Amino acid sequence: MAEARILTVAEAIREATDIAMEHDPRIFVMGEGVSDPKAIFGTTAGLAERYGAARVMEMPIAENGFTGIAIGAAIMGRRPLIVHQRVDFALLSLEQLFNNAAKTCYVTGGHHTVPLVVRMIVGRGWGQGPAHSQSLEALFAMVPGLKVVMPTTAREAKGQLIAALEDPNPVIMIEHRWVHYATGHVPEGHYTVPLDGPRRVREGGDVTIVATSYMLLEALRAAETLNKAGIGADVIDLAVLRPFEPDLIIESVRRTGRLLFIDTGFRQFGIGAEVVATVVEQAFGSLVRPPVRLGLPEHPTPSSRALLADFYPTALSIIDAAAALTEVEPERIAVPRAALAAELAKLPVDVPHPTFRGPF
């Protein structure tokens, strides 16, 4: 058996784009920085040299304009891939995405489709602050007609992107910058990961933990520590925000009786609000404790490292919330929690891992 390949998420995204472009000449890439030497954190590296300026197009700072061009090209049979270095930049093209891309299939009775993929990257740390680090997935997920995915693993990122580029509908793919460094096993060649719902990544019977994007990595780190205290966490990667398929989450909550959701974005009016509402509607009788949501507080992202320390959920806050939900005695969790806290204290507050290189 061939040894499994290890790639970063960024490398997996670059490989997915290359494979899709080689397979389908209708695909072209456009965005600000796609042919820059930094190549959108390496995710578009080498594509301009291989496919030329006709298929890897450097764009001016005119997001609304080039998004409109991409939508028109998609309606006419091409398959554009727009890349934004930050989710925040896509705000300038919301009218095009919400009123044109999302609604064309509906208003034409299915006669026209918009096979458009828009990659957006969430920034964090390095002083990027209020306007370059927003995680706005709830904004896009509320719009019917858009599919919204948030990959966390390298295998998932490659397979989801290829599936998105083959989908006849507009797909929003939101990547967290801190996920780009994460490594994992990635199959060679062409494969797809269905854009159809959440996936269980760790089994447990005491509490259901559902998370998105980078917060899944924090949840998994928390679950390891909880396990040392005898608490089994059933960890679910939401993975696909729209279409929202809650069956796996409902099944898990019916076993554990407890739900903890960790939002990558804001807690209020976030993705977790929809998940909790659905669980309460469909599995209220199974809940032994009220569901708990963690997420960003109700103010913009600070640039200061001193203020960042308490802004984002962490593995430690997830541990505390899960321990409270399961009503575990504090002394039972204290030793493994303290060991993790000592390990995390060695890292700067705005660097997720020693291998991380950022922000650009």
Q: Active-site positions?
A: 63, 132
- Which burial class, exposed, middle or buried, applies to 285 when counting CB atoms under 10 A from its CB (0-12, 13-18, 19+)? exposed
Beta carbons within 8 Å of 224's beta carbon, 6+ residues apart: none
| DSSP 8-class letter at 177 | G
Beta carbons within 8 Å of 25's beta carbon, 6+ residues apart: none
Nearest to 148 by CA among 89, 212, 79, 74: 212
Q: What whole-number distance in Å separates Cα of residue 81 and Cα of residue 9?
A: 18
Q: What whole-number distance in Å separates Cα of residue 340 and Cα of residue 349?
A: 14
Phi, psi of 288 (to 5 degrees): -100, -15
Query: Tokens at residue 60, please?
Result: 């001016």
